[in-house]
Chain A
């Protein structure tokens, strides 16, 4: 049923997949793994795992505070990760890269520190399509300060509803925090346009780029964001490390987030002064080996080329949207054309609950996500409680999309829907 469709990608998928040993795993029942959950967490190439192993086996020590040779090596490795990440996203300075434990912590850091100057009457604007990690920290900041939370709605076709942008962005608006690519709908939002309008009213722009940085080339120097968050484990890097990029002068104006070692200048019992960014926001022993792994990850992606990865994602999404159209009773949430569409597609299948869809697919080796994907409000927007999500990456093949489509046919037969 899919043979009439064509697929063309600039990537040599066989050689890419050879870098990811897990992709050749066989699962229960002899089914080969079909990993369609990369928006949840990407798989890791050998190069990343080896960099982490090499660090732990040869260079391990604490950073900065350790004065011995290994300490110097570990510090150089950790800071080397910072250099690589800065280059990867076009940051004008390495000091604009703050390492956190994940994207959620990066967004909480933003909400806490920007929140410190919020007051009653101020407005924070988010959107209905945010991941919970870009809603809840702002709700908490508004509760603490008496500021008001407002949000962009979502149109019927899954795009940001900008019709009331002039009501949302006023002189009272202090922060606009938006996702670049929706983790549930796949929608790519026009960040630069909105940022320009937000800046015109004096608001600070925070971007959740968790699903963007893995997918296409990012240049923070031209984007228009003031702060931008993403996580390591979705860019073929390790878990345990996230990134907050910020314009240096903004970071330098923000108060500390967590207190502890390495974030200070001078500590006296009567009060302390704080280090300059990025150290100000990196209290305690940081994710050292993870920074090494993340550095190797962005090197890996750069080696392949983010423009090629973006082109591959586009081709796969187009192929998947076409394939899913052939499944009776399947409704895609959000945009149904591949234009401005990230590498995740959520859908509902008439008569079968998403958990049951995912369990049946799982018994055929196909890994998808089912639930609200930490984006309950956008599901509510579409009158749904949950959905099934298939998400793709640089190693996803058209054959895997066909396995998904065939798997969904099997689900329909198994639950006798027709």
Chain B
């Protein structure tokens, strides 16, 4: 249980000045996710451009891990195709669930590798995943809305 493994300087930097923090317009979908067991809350907005993530902004209350993870997540998915963002999530999830036995892929996870130590603190894994779950939910909703709209165009 090495504290410095958990609180990497990168994490504390993101915590002190989170990227893409502050809800911005325009957006397609806004979601609000909570960790009921601890009370962390995140409000997150997603704007898609076709199947590319054009923008992600968020406003959250929570611990250093959840705030920093949401900040890093935003950096990782903005400007990328949705499918790539989802694949990055899978990699991040694998790292979080690896109990410290998964070697993080820096090519894919970038600053996200700093969270490798979180996997050794099982109680904190859900903190690191909160922002991701909000983004995945908002993006899925945005895609569904897009699909329905396209459907509407075809039907017209």
Q: Which DSSP category, helix, strand, loop or mixed, fits chain A's interface?
A: helix
Report chain B residues within 8 Å CB of A386.
38-40
Q: Is the CB of B1 within 8 A of A354?
A: no
A317 to B127: give the CA distance in the assembly, Å.
Answer: 31
Interface size on A, residues (CB 8 A): 19
Chain A: minimal CB distance from B33 (Å) = 14
User: A355-B127, A356-B64 in contact; A362/B1 too (CB < 8 A)?
Assistant: yes
Task: Provide the A206-231 mask, 1 if CB < 8 A to any CB of B, else 0.
Answer: 00000000000000000000000000
A360 to B40: give the CA distance in the assembly, Å.
Answer: 18
Stretch at the interface among A108-116, A172-180, A368-376: A368-376
Interface residue B7 (Cβ < 8 Å from any Cβ of A): yes
Report chain A residues within 8 Å CB of B98.
none
Interface of chain A residues 344 through 360 with chain B (CB within 8 A): 353-356, 359-360
CB closest residue in chain B, given A28: B1
A3 to B131: give the CA distance in the assembly, Å.
Answer: 45
Q: Which of A29, A355, A414, A415 has the most CB of B within 10 A?
A: A355
Interface residue B155 (Cβ < 8 Å from any Cβ of A): no
Chain A: minimal CB distance from B16 (Å) = 10
Q: Is the CB of B61 within 8 A of A385?
A: yes
A385 to B3: give the CA distance in the assembly, Å.
Answer: 24
Interface residue A326 (Cβ < 8 Å from any Cβ of B): no
A360 to B4: give the CA distance in the assembly, Å.
Answer: 10
Residue in A354, A372, A376, A379 whose beta carbon sits within 8 Å of that of B63 in the complex: A354
Interface of chain B residues 98 through 121 with chain A (CB within 8 A): 121
Report chain A residues within 8 Å CB of B124.
355, 359
Interface residue A192 (Cβ < 8 Å from any Cβ of B): no
User: A359-B6, A363-B1 in contact; A353/B39 too (CB < 8 A)?
Assistant: no
Residues of B participating in the A interface, judged by any CB pair closer than 8 Å: 1-3, 6-7, 12, 37-41, 61-66, 121, 123-124, 127
Question: Can you list 20 A-B contacts with CB-CB less than 8 angstroms, sorted by A residue number?
Answer: A353-B63, A355-B63, A355-B66, A356-B64, A356-B65, A359-B6, A359-B121, A359-B124, A362-B1, A363-B2, A370-B38, A372-B38, A372-B39, A385-B39, A385-B40, A385-B41, A386-B38, A386-B39, A414-B7, A415-B12
